[in-house]
A and B are shown apart, each in its own frame.
Chain A
Amino acid sequence: MKHQTAAAAREGLHVNKIRADFPILARTVHGKPLAYLDNAATSQKPSSVITAMNEYYTAMNSNIHRGVHSLSEEATAAYEKSRELVRRFIHAESMREIIFVRGTTEAINLVASSFVHPSVKAGDEILITGLEHHSNIVPWQLVCGRTGAVLRVVPITDDGEVMLEEFAARLTPKTKFVAIAHVSNALGTVNPVKAMVALARERGIPVLVDGAQAVPHMPVDVQELGADFYAFSGHKMYGPTGVGVLYGREEVISGMTPYQGGGDMIKSVSFEKTVYNDLPHRFEAGTPNIAGVIGLGEAIRYLSGLDWRAVEEHEADLVAYCTTVVSGIPGARIIGTAREKAGVVSFIMEGIHPHDIGTILDQEGIAVRTGHHCAQPVMERFSIPATVRASFAIYNTREEVDRLGEGLRKVKEVFG
């Protein structure tokens, strides 16, 4: 019955049609068809995204927000159209709350520097979880280093789940900011972010949610979530690299000091007094990644053309199937067995280093990530140096998971 449901979902998603939209999936690696299972690092891009960026450079390349000529007006309209697409995509109330940045990392650094740094003092606490990516650890360490604030960490269980009661226990009058991942990049754990945000906000503590690994896999409604900040990258959700989004609730960001100074973020400049621009432009200094923003808008159009339920069912099926296939290999052990996971199966094999596994799989045309996944504290928590990570997207298939299984059997063969 379960298999039938999964099959129906696969049909609902038209995976073959989707695969045809992604030109790179037609290539071979070492003479084998590419099985791209490294989507948590970056996803592939559909033709429509590549074409949209190409069209910007071919037909309307110009700077935005200042020219009176036609090209500039067209480019500005395309750029701002993407902002509206992002607003709708994450269900934000206003376009003023959508700030374009380079990616999740810059979004978090912006919040660290413009919001958290000015508001904490020595002895205050910033709370994160033991599941975070380095980009949601290091910016806070920098703030702590400059202010004397203290970074506190919520422990995770052997399954790779955040301990909710420990989280609540660490929300004290000293806690001035909370930063949590929506989905863990190393283990795939989906955090109960709505409950966590509610716990923090009941105590008046502002929250940032790192949504980099969530937005490609599930619908996000920032108003329902209630977070003050939500950060994500374009390139993990079928868009280009070098562009991302910081959502900030208007009442929070309206009082925030600018991040970088420069053109476009001002209304008027004199040596005596500079007047900053309105939201969100106040936080977008300099000529932005115009082509990237346009490409991101196109990626959102692409995702919006799919049925979220079918996407979620298809990817859940791949995660479940991959878990079964990997668990069937003698000596293999899944790292991260949370009840709710999205897109990721991380594992190790007894006596064989992940790096060696990655090289052998590559020879079979299978792209996986091996290493610490920029989450060294997670590796330390499980006392391992690294894992092999297979991560999925809408265009992956059970057949590719089968090839992963065959590849792992070859690994066993080589290492006897």
Chain B
Amino acid sequence: MSDLRSLYQEVILDHNKNPRNFRAMEDADRSLEGYNPLCGDRYVIYVRMDGDTIEDVSFTGSGCAISKASASVMSALVKKKTKEEALRLFNQFHDLVTGHGGSASEEGLGKMAVFAGVSEFPARVKCASLAWHTLKAVLEKQTTAVSTE
């Protein structure tokens, strides 16, 4: 049960139940679908840019608690950040959930730190990183849907 608590932390359960920025964005500059064919998680990430800054970000879709909470936390973290800062956060998150972030202090990660437990559940890494991969693709102006396969 202790392992489970590390995966399903209160913050994650809260973001799953009450996801932030969970809406379609009508005046988005860009949007892209991310899909995990293994479990059917499917999200669309919307961004509106102001120059190089993410003026607004939102998402729609459905999936497991880990994928939805991750999209919600991500949206809160990257809003008003520059593209470069957001991509740095992507790398930090990636290292965190794949267990390569051993040396980084969790304090520097902010809310993202609640996903540290994912690294103990290899089958769930794709769930946690789906929204992030999709955001990265949006920021890098990819036009084809993102798939975790």
- For the complex, give the distance between the alpha carbons of A365 and B40 in Å: 24
Q: Does A359 count as interface, using CB distance less than 8 angstroms?
A: yes
Q: Is the CB of A414 within 8 A of B40?
A: no
Which residues in window 21-72 of B have CB below 8 A to A? Answer: 38-42, 62-66
**Chain A proximity of B68: nearest CB distance (Å):** 8
Q: Does A121 count as interface, using CB distance less than 8 angstroms?
A: no
For chain B, what secondary structure do more than half of its interface residues adopt (helix, strand, loop), or is it mixed? mixed
Q: Which residue of the partner chain, among B1, B7, B62, B63, contacts A359 with CB atoms under 8 Å?
A: B7
Q: Does A158 count as interface, using CB distance less than 8 angstroms?
A: no
**Chain A proximity of B20: nearest CB distance (Å):** 18
Q: Does B127 count as interface, using CB distance less than 8 angstroms?
A: yes
Q: Does B4 count as interface, using CB distance less than 8 angstroms?
A: yes
Q: What residues on B are CB-neighbors of A359 within 8 Å?
A: 4, 7, 121, 123-124
Q: What residues on A are CB-neighbors of B4 within 8 Å?
A: 359-360, 363, 414
Q: Does B3 count as interface, using CB distance less than 8 angstroms?
A: yes
**Chain B proximity of A265: nearest CB distance (Å):** 35
Q: Is the CB of B39 within 8 A of A385?
A: yes
Chain B positions 7 through 24: 1 when the CB is less than 8 Å from some CB of chain A, otherwise 0: 110000100000000000
Q: Is the CB of B64 within 8 A of A355?
A: yes
The number of chain A residues with a CB under 8 A from chain B is: 19
Q: A355-B127, A359-B124 are in contact. Are A415 and B39 (CB under 8 A)?
A: no
- For the complex, give the distance between the alpha carbons of A363 and B38 in Å: 20
**Chain B proximity of A134: nearest CB distance (Å):** 11
Q: Is the CB of A385 within 8 A of B124?
A: no
- For the complex, give the distance between the alpha carbons of A360 and B41 in Å: 18
Q: Does A394 count as interface, using CB distance less than 8 angstroms?
A: no
Q: Which residue of the partner chain, among B39, B121, B124, contacts A386 with CB atoms under 8 Å?
A: B39
- For the complex, give the distance between the alpha carbons of A210 and B124 in Å: 32
Q: A353-B64, A355-B64, A363-B1 are in contact. Are A386 and B40 (CB under 8 A)?
A: yes
Q: What residues on B are CB-neighbors of A356 within 8 Å?
A: 8, 64-66
Minimal Cβ-Cβ distance residue in B for A371: B39
- For the complex, give the distance between the alpha carbons of A414 and B9 in Å: 9
Q: What residues on A are CB-neighbors of B7 within 8 Å?
A: 359
Q: What residues on A are CB-neighbors of B63 within 8 Å?
A: 353, 355, 385
Q: What residues on A are CB-neighbors of B127 within 8 Å?
A: 355
- For the complex, give the distance between the alpha carbons of A355 and B13 in Å: 14
Q: Does A314 count as interface, using CB distance less than 8 angstroms?
A: no
Q: Is the CB of A385 within 8 A of B13?
A: no
**Chain B proximity of A246: nearest CB distance (Å):** 28
Q: A353-B64, A359-B121, A414-B8 are in contact. Are A372 and B3 (CB under 8 A)?
A: no
- For the complex, give the distance between the alpha carbons of A372 and B37 in Å: 9
Q: Does A370 count as interface, using CB distance less than 8 angstroms?
A: yes
Q: What residues on A are CB-neighbors of B64 within 8 Å?
A: 353-356
Q: Does A379 count as interface, using CB distance less than 8 angstroms?
A: yes
Q: Does A255 count as interface, using CB distance less than 8 angstroms?
A: no
Q: Does A173 count as interface, using CB distance less than 8 angstroms?
A: no
**Chain A proximity of B18: nearest CB distance (Å):** 12
Minimal Cβ-Cβ distance residue in B for A372: B40
Q: What residues on A are CB-neighbors of B38 within 8 Å?
A: 371
Minimal Cβ-Cβ distance residue in A for B39: A355
Q: Does A305 count as interface, using CB distance less than 8 angstroms?
A: no
Closest 6 CB pairs of A and B: A385-B40, A353-B64, A355-B64, A355-B39, A356-B65, A356-B64
A-B residue pairs in contact (CB < 8 Å), sample of 16: A353-B39, A353-B63, A353-B65, A355-B39, A356-B65, A359-B4, A359-B7, A359-B123, A359-B124, A363-B1, A363-B3, A363-B4, A371-B39, A371-B40, A385-B62, A415-B8
B residues at A contact (CB < 8 Å): 1, 3-4, 7-8, 13, 38-42, 62-66, 121, 123-124, 127
- Supply 7 further A-B pairs (C-beta < 8 A) apart from A372-B40, A385-B42: A353-B64, A355-B63, A356-B64, A356-B65, A379-B40, A385-B40, A386-B39
